[in-house]
């Protein structure tokens, strides 16, 4: 149902798909979505992805995957993770969880927003990069451009091991696109 609603809203609001469609030959990858400045991003980005026949997974607290919420989040692609600090060995356990998920799957796409929030945050979370590097998978860059009402996935980053260099490439890519609340998008700054 949500799939149909998001595709319908995507089309009714005049959004288009960028024809430079990147992920045709990738079975496993991190899908970075940005700029993430509004709750509407999820609706429009999923509408675009469904339209492109891409079914990403996303991390969600284990508690949100139980009844009744699980009826919504499981079909949307929720991937349950236990974020209870008592059950985690370290902060890197989310990254370890993603690496293990990729290593144990033949096909998997996990969608991530590096900002980790819709608010201004120049100190992006780096777990997505470490995951891609450790799992030996690419990072594909998806975007929503509210100014031109275009969405797509049009760049692939293969982690080089130089995280600062690669994050600057990702930042430069997103500097070309306008989020719904553009002033809330923070360019990456080293922490």
Q: What is the pTM of this model?
A: 0.86
Domain residue spans in the chain? 2-20+29-183
Upstream peptide bond of 67 is cis (omega within 30 degrees of 0): no
CB 51 within 8 A of CB 152: no
- Tens of pLDDT along the chain (191 residues) come to 677 887 888 889 999 999 887 666 889 999 999 888 888 888 888 889 888 889 999 888 888 788 888 888 888 888 888 766 555 554 558 899 999 999 999 999 999 887 766 666 667 788 999 999 999 999 999 999 999 999 999 899 999 999 999 999 998 999 889 989 877 777 666 76
Upstream peptide bond of 68 is cis (omega within 30 degrees of 0): yes
Three-state SS for 140? Answer: strand
Longest dimension (CA), the chain: 46
Query: Can you give the pLDDT at residue 99?
Result: 95
Query: Can you give the pLDDT at residue 57?
Result: 92
Secondary-structure breakdown of the chain: helix, strand, coil percentages, each rounded to the nearest 5: 40, 20, 40
Query: Could you write out the three-class secondary structure of 22-65?
Result: CHHHCCEEEEEEECCCCCHHHHHHHHHHHHCCCCCEEEEEHHHH
User: Torsion over CA of 168, 155, 114 and 26, rounded to 10 degrees?
Assistant: -130
Q: What's the gap between Cα 56 and its chain centre? A: 8
């Amino acid at each position: 149902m949500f799939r149909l609603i998001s595709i319908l809203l995507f089309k009714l609001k005049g959004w288009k798909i960028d024809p430079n469609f990147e992920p045709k030959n990738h079975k496993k990858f991190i899908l970075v979505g940005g700029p993430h400045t509004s709750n509407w991003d999820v609706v429009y980005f999923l509408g675009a992805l469904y339209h492109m026949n891409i079914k990403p997974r996303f991390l969600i607290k284990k508690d949100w995957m139980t009844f009744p919420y699980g009826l919504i989040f499981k079909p949307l692609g929720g991937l349950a993770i236990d974020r209870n600090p008592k059950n985690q060995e370290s902060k890197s356990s989310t990254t370890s969880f993603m690496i293990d998920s990729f290593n144990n799957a033949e096909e998997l796409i996990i969608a991530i927003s590096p900002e980790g929030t819709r608010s201004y945050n120049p100190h992006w979370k780096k777990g997505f990069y470490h995951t891609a590097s450790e799992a030996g998978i690419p990072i594909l860059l998806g975007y929503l451009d509210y100014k031109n009402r275009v969405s797509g996935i049009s760049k692939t980053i293969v982690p080089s091991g130089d995280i600062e260099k690669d994050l600057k490439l990702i930042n430069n890519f997103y500097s070309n696109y306008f989020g719904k609340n553009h002033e809330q998008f923070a360019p990456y700054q080293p922490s």
